[in-house]
Each structure stands twice: as C-alpha cells, then as structure tokens.
Amino acid sequence: MFGRFTKYLRLERLAKLLGMRKQIQLGFYGPVNAGKTTLANRISIDWLGKEVGKVSEIPHETRTIQKIENVEVTTNNGHVLRMNIIDMPGIATQVDYKTFASYGLTLEESKERAKEATKGVIEAIKWLDNVDAVLVVMDASEDPYTQVNVTIIGNLEARGIPMIIVANKIDLPNASPAGIEGAFPQHVVVSISASTGLNMEKLYEAIQEHLT
Amino acid sequence: MEIRLDFIPAATLAAKDPVEKMDFILERIKRNVIIVLEEGLSPREEAELIAATMREIDARDFHGIEFYRLDSRETRLRERIANYISGKRSGLTIVGPTRMVEAIKKEPDCISMLAKAEVECPTDAPSVAGSTKGRKR
C-alpha cells in the first residue's frame, strides 16, 4: 500500500517535471457580484475565444455552476497551465426576492431567481470537496472582512485546499487591495481588474507558482 | 418593541450532531430570536449553516441570516494548532435573522451589531439557559 503511494508520488513529480500533470480543477469562489464570471469570461475569451457566462449588475446572475474545460494558458515565462475552471455561484447568507424586483424584474421572475439563487449557493458549498485549488475573488472596493469571505477562506484552510485571493475591480477609484492584504495576511493576494484585463499575467504566474 | 437575545451555552449544543445543531439554530432564528453561541461554529459548520439557511429561505417570511464569528484569529499560532488538534474551539458566534440584524461589523476593538425591531417578536419562544432581552439600539 505504502509502496504504491510512493510510486504514485514519484509519477506525479515526474509528470509535473515533464509538464504532463493532469488538469487542475480550479474553483472560483467569492461573495455575490465580486466579478467571478467576469474573470472566467476574461480567461475564456483570451484563451478559448468564447464567453462562458452572462454578467449583470443584478445580484446572483450566476445561479448554476459553469465549467470551462481544457483551458491552456501559456505564461510570459513559458509555463503552460492546464486547468478546468469552475465558476461558482456567489456565496451569500441571505436571498430576498424583493432585491431583484428593485432591478425591474417582475414578481414571478424575482421569486424564481431567488429560488435558483438559493440552490446555487448550496451547490457551490457542496463543490468545496471537488476542487483542487481555488481563486477567492473579492471586490477590492468593498470591505473584505465579511463573514462570507471568512467562511470561504476558513473552509479552504480546513480542507487543505490551496488558494489565491484575487483582489478584483482595482480599476475602480475607491478600490483598496491593501485592505484585502491586511485582512488576510497569511494568503497570497493578486490585484487585478478582470474587466480591463489589468495584471492578468501576474495572476497566471501566481497560479503557476502557488496552485499547480 | 423588544429584541430577544438567547445566549446558548456550549453544553447545549455539544451532544448534537451537525444536522440537529443547524435545526436548533435556525428554529430560533426563524422565530426572530438573535442567538449568541458560547462556542463558535467551525468553518465547516458555518458552511453547513449557510446551506441549511438557503434550504429554509422562502419568499414570505424568511430571507436569510447575518452571522459573525469572533474567532481565535488574534490568538497565537501555537494555541490555534493545539485547539485544532484537540477539536476545541474558541470565540463565539452571533447569528440573527436578516430582517432584524441590519449589519454585523468588525470594528478595531469590538464587533458591532445593528439590529432593528420591525417585526413582531414571538411570545411563545421557549427560554433557554442564559436567555435575556435587550432594548433596540
């Protein structure tokens, strides 16, 4: 048993050295409207030439898990990242259909969206046991020290899942990535703007260095 | 109008399995009781609390929760490792229905909770050890 495990580790290491390591399942977690789908779209458009999900200012636009398979990213220093990206619905502790109605949705549409949103949160939590690594996406213009962020990071720590915190939306005038670094000093933080593409190369390099 | 706070001793939840624990918490929250758990929830329990909350949300009465864990983030690494190994948890968790708890915010030297009492508080809620009542802020 032990010998078989050692052999597996050797093969894994050899595969990694040869650049043959299997694709990682990279989950995108974070609160609602942090820009997870915008980031997934940025990566998918840049490397696969297609968009994966609709983006909207209405909360809970992503209500089902979206998988982008076989993404190959070549970094500036020549490394090739092979990954399946899993864009999760945003994690929330409350879903009130009236919020959606305030964006102009009908009562029925709002209630249906709320129902789907709650299912999406449950699915995202279930998937914590199926990802190899995670990008925790946060809106750098918001207070990072929320219970949702603390719970996501605490769960990843408890499961031993490697993560990078993505301080997104740094193109906004009130963005403060330093606030995120201060709130979670024990983790790698990469500041980007998924909507403009700023610092995407730094993110790819960080994934290669810390998550593969 | 009054706001009810229940303080739940660690012993009350100690013998409950995860499902019973979530049921215990949400049963009170749905009756508009804010609860303070003497022993903070673990991250996995927090995730389970969020999932259980999502299953209970309905369009009419219950839209979710606000909660906050005052944890051992500030304690020394050695203590955190010892607590992790022994399964012991430090800190406390406060949970309330979102219709009453407007915000729970971490201040530099305290946790601040802003609550409102727009809804009728239940009068038939059974008391638990340490239960108390607080006036609207």
- Go through the domains of chain A in sequence order and give each one's CATH number: 21-210 (3.40.50.300)
Question: With an 8 Å Cβ cutoff, is A88 touching chain B?
Answer: no
Structural tokens at position B32: 């508009």
The string of DSSP codes covering A122-138 is HHHHHGGGG-SEEEEEE
Q: What is the pLDDT of residues A154-183, one digit of tens each?
A: 999 999 999 999 999 999 999 999 999 999
| B64/A128 Cβ within 8 A | no
- In angstroms, what is the C-alpha Rg of chain A? 18
| A94/B50 Cβ within 8 A | no
Q: Name residues 94-113 of chain A within 8 A of B (Cβ).
A: 94-97, 111
Residues B40/B71, Cβ–Cβ less than 8 Å = yes
Q: Specify the pLDDT at position B127.
A: 40
A150 contacts in B (CB within 8 Å)?
Answer: 69, 71
Nearest alpha carbon to residue A29 among A190, A166, A184, A177: A166
| B43/A145 Cβ within 8 A | no
Bridge partners of A149, per DSSP, are: none
- Model confidence at B133: pLDDT above 60: no
| B57/A147 Cβ within 8 A | no
Q: Specify the pLDDT at position B119.
A: 55
Instruction: Kindly indicate the confidence band of residue A208, based on its pLDDT and cuts at 50, 70 and 90.
Output: very high
Instruction: Kindly indicate the confidence band of residue B137, based on its pLDDT and cuts at 50, 70 and 90.
Output: very low
Phi/psi region, residue A41 (left: phi>0; alpha: psi -120 to 50; beta: rest), is alpha
Q: What is the pLDDT of residues B98-126, one digit of tens each?
A: 988 888 877 767 788 888 876 554 444 44
CA–CA min distance A209, chain B (Å)? 25
Q: What is the pLDDT of residues B50-70, one digit of tens each?
A: 999 999 998 778 999 999 988
Residues A190/A199, Cβ–Cβ less than 8 Å = yes
| B43/A121 Cβ within 8 A | no
Task: Give the C-alpha separation, B128 to A174, whole Å.
Answer: 45
Question: With an 8 Å Cβ cutoff, is A119 touching chain B?
Answer: yes
Which of A93, A97, A158 minimises the CB distance to B50?
Answer: A93
CA–CA min distance A148, chain B (Å)? 9
Q: Which residue of A has its CA nearest to B84?
A: A158
Task: Give the C-alpha separation, B41 to B19, whole Å.
Answer: 13
Q: What is the ipTM of this complex?
A: 0.85
Q: What is the pLDDT of residues A59-108, one digit of tens each?
A: 888 888 999 999 999 988 888 999 999 999 999 999 998 888 888 889 99
